[in-house]
Amino acid sequence: MRYVSTRGQSPAVGFTDAVLGGLAPDGGLYVPETWPTFTKAELAAFAGRPYAEVAAAVLGRFAGDEVEPAELLRMCEEAYGTFSHKAVTPMTQIGPQTFILELFHGPSLAFKDVAMQILARLYDHFLGQQRRSQTILCATSGDTGGAAVEAFRGARNVRVVAMFPEGRISEVQRRFMTTAPEANIACLSVQGTFDDCQAILKDAFQDKALRQAVDLAAVNSINFARIAAQAVYYFTSAAALGAPDRPINFVVPSGNFGDAFAGFVAMKMGLPIKRIVVATNANDILARAFATGRYARGAVQATISPAMDIQSASNFERLYFECVQRDAVETTRAFEAFARTGAIDIPPAALAAMQQVFTGVAIGDDEAFKTIVSTLNETGELIDPHTAVAVAALSHAPLEGPTVVLSTAHPAKFAEDVLKASGAAPALPRGASSLADRPERFDRLPADPDTIKAYVRAFAES
Ligand SMILES: *Cc1c(COP(=O)(O)O)cnc(C)c1O
């Protein structure tokens, strides 16, 4: 399997280089040269199989001959063995035709574990083969840092430096990073904002001397392996509800559009999906784009679903590329213009192709709050604010037939807002409850790029 860039100016690469490279050198995103497909019989056979086996089958199509099937299955079993639920991503029914897919049973209690756990194992495997080691530098506003630390702790060929803004993340979020005892993890409390952390990250990646001394890597959501790993639960949940004989709808709380695009990938691979509802909070760039055809950045607003406070959805470029029939010249033109002007007018044929699959719905904080209460009252299920955005979207997008709502975080991860909305205090699951007792280990530094780059260099060489 070869991977091409959405901008068309980088050579095609294999799976290993697409995973280790992340972004293509021409600034585009990697996509497979052709979409691998499953037959109806293969799709039906996913029903009732262990999650790790389906993951190995799906990822195997993308890895081609670059990972031994037995080795891939072993990695998937290890990755999903870290989840606290035997079904890995279980479903709960909340209405006659409506099901919540719980993606939060991983070690950091957010859906990012699903992709990060397998990505870490692929990384370590490929780096070991190439006798290389890398240092992952990560700036987090909350969830990504914890998922990365949990996934890479103890990795042989990878060190992680996780930067977070001092006093601006929740205690639970901080402790998921700072209580890892492994020597390959370093946590940095930066005396500044998340924007300061991101600026330092950018500075570090542009510093040639640092990059020469340290093999720096990033684990952002544009890595194709993360998308491939997220396609897996579309297959398992749809098969459980009768696909491929019955088409299934999905409702996806969305920020960077990685999770929702993974559904599109599953569809391209043959899964009969009727509709994907993209549920955003007040940061509604995607909802506006699907409704009006204009993809235009707005100012970022802080909401009670902070992991979705994003106004330019990186993975949207992959969908655009598909919907302009893989025209890399047009994709380059559109996204270079977006970087300059903050807007793209989607060509009518491409918009029609998007609207055939996607509906966008934007949900305000008030409605999300009310949905936490009504869901608790009507079903007994306590949901987090991100999931609430998706559940609320159900009543704005009439859907027929079985519908799966993706639940992306455990309510205890956003305990304060959930308690405020519902009066019910969500408890941390058993595995995470010792978080408060474990010793923390982190360094504090001013938001100064040179100081932090010197720290990263010293850690990488230690
Ligand atoms: C990252 C995240 C999202 C958004 O996912 P995207 O793939 O960026 O669209 C939604 N909910 C939670 C809890 C997240 O951490």
What is the CATH code for 133-220+430-462? 3.40.50.1100
- The string of DSSP letters for 109-146 reads SBTHHHHHHHHHHHHHHHHHHTT--EEEEEE-SSHHHH
User: Quick check: CB of 104 below 6 Å from ligand 1?
Assistant: no
Mutate to test the pocket of ligand 1, among 408, 413, 417 (most ligand atoms within 8 A of CB): 408
Look at ligand 1, atom 14, and give the residue with the nearest C-alpha.
307
Task: Write out the H or E segment, with its range, that includes residue 4.
Answer: strand 3-5
What is the spatial distance between Cα 327 and Cα 6, in angstroms, rounded to a whole number?
8
User: Quick check: CB of 411 below 6 Å from ligand 1?
Assistant: no
Q: What is the pLDDT of residue 416?
A: 87
Q: What is the pLDDT of residue 221?
A: 76
Count each helix (H run) and each strand (E run) in the chain, helices first.
19, 15
User: Quick check: CB of 257 below 6 Å from ligand 1?
Assistant: yes
Give me ligand 1 centre to Cα 24, in Å. Answer: 23
Name the token pair of 374: 């009504």
Mutate to test the pocket of ligand 1, among 169, 172, 256 (most ligand atoms within 8 A of CB): 256
Name the token pair of 78: 């290890």
CA contacts within 13 A on the Cβ side of 310: 18
Q: What is the pLDDT of residue 64?
A: 96
Q: 244 preceded by cis ω (within 30°)?
A: yes
CA angle 299, 218, 124 (to 5 degrees): 150
Question: For residue 462, what are the contacts with CB-CB under 8 A and spacing of at least 6?
Answer: none
Task: Write out the H or E segment, with its range, that includes residue 188.
Answer: strand 185-191
Domain covering 91-109+224-422, topology:
Rossmann fold (3.40.50)
What is the spatial distance between Cα 201 and Cα 187, in angstroms, rounded to a whole number?
14
> Which residues make up the CATH 3.40.50.1100 domain(s) of the chain?
91-109+224-422, 133-220+430-462
Q: What is the pLDDT of residue 433?
A: 77
User: Quick check: CB of 256 below 6 Å from ligand 1?
Assistant: yes
Q: What is the pLDDT of residue 319?
A: 98
What is the spatial distance between Cα 154 and Cα 218, in angstroms, rounded to a whole number?
18
From 40, 86, 112, 202, active-site residue = 112
Q: What is the pLDDT of residue 205?
A: 84
pLDDT by residue for the chain (462 residues), tens digit each? 999 999 999 999 999 999 998 888 898 999 999 999 999 999 999 999 999 999 999 999 999 999 999 999 999 999 999 999 999 999 999 999 999 999 999 999 999 999 999 999 999 999 999 999 999 999 887 788 999 999 999 999 999 999 998 987 878 889 999 999 999 999 999 998 877 888 898 889 889 899 889 998 887 778 999 999 999 999 999 999 999 999 999 999 998 899 999 999 999 999 999 999 999 999 999 999 999 999 999 888 889 998 888 888 889 999 999 999 999 999 999 999 998 999 999 999 999 999 999 999 999 999 999 999 999 999 999 999 999 999 999 999 989 999 999 999 999 988 888 999 889 889 888 877 788 899 999 999 999 999 999 999 999 998
Q: Ligand 1 atom closest to Cα of 142?
A: 15
What is the spatial distance between Cα 259 and Cα 111, in angstroms, rounded to a whole number?
9
Query: Is 268 in the active site?
Result: no
Beta strands at 216-217 and 134-139: parallel, antiparallel or unpaired: parallel
User: Quick check: CB of 110 below 6 Å from ligand 1?
Assistant: yes
User: Quick check: CB of 102 below 6 Å from ligand 1?
Assistant: no
